[in-house]
Amino acid sequence: MEKKDDGFKLIANNKKAYFDYFIEDKWEAGMELFGTEVKSVRMGRASIKESYIKIEKNEVFIYNMNISPYEKGNIFNRDPIRVRRLLLHRNEINKLAGQSSEKGYTIVPLRLYIRNGLVKIEIGLGKGKKLYDKRQSIAKKDQRRENERDFKIKNI
């Protein structure tokens, strides 16, 4: 019997990251959030579309991540696009810093989710795609869609 993972809820997905970068490695990180931010994330009111990640003074921060203010939060609401600290082990931060310092590499947020009651973010080490790589991705996607369409027509 396969164990079901009931404690997983996807909040936000960054599809553009997979289009713009070759993702070479992935990590799961916790986030330093306040109470009203957690409530807002649980309601699914968060976006990582335009966010990016930097390492400063041996700490990892996410910029431009939007968590909408909690409606019932009044004075406890924080700035929706404030800088938030990501929680990683020291050796993971050192490895990330070393790999992202190479030319062409960057750290991108991939998914925001809740696992076992905790807000987690999946980050990846990405190498930027060139224009011709993006064209190849679009061509593959179009070919896959066309094949699915043909298959659907044949099965009807």
Buried-state track 24-60, b at ≥16 Cβ within 10 A, e below 16 = eeebebebebbebbbbbbeeebbbbeebebebeeeeb
Which pLDDT score is estimated for 29?
Answer: 93
pLDDT per residue as tens digits for the range 81-139: 889 999 999 999 999 999 888 888 899 999 999 999 899 999 999 888 887 777 888 88
Which pLDDT score is estimated for 71?
Answer: 79
Amino acid code (one letter) for 13: N
CATH superfamily of 8-129: Small protein B (2.40.280.10)
> Is the confidence at residue 20, as pLDDT, over 90?
no
Report whether 55 contacts 97 (CB < 8 A). Answer: yes
Which pLDDT score is estimated for 6?
Answer: 67
Which pLDDT score is estimated for 3?
Answer: 47
Which pLDDT score is estimated for 31?
Answer: 92
Closest CA to 45 of 55, 33, 53, 57: 33
Which pLDDT score is estimated for 156?
Answer: 64
pTM (predicted TM-score): 0.77
Tell me the CA end-to-end span of the chain in Å, nearest whole number: 34
pLDDT per residue as tens digits for the range 42-88: 988 899 988 999 999 999 999 999 888 887 767 767 778 889 999 99
Which pLDDT score is estimated for 1?
Answer: 38
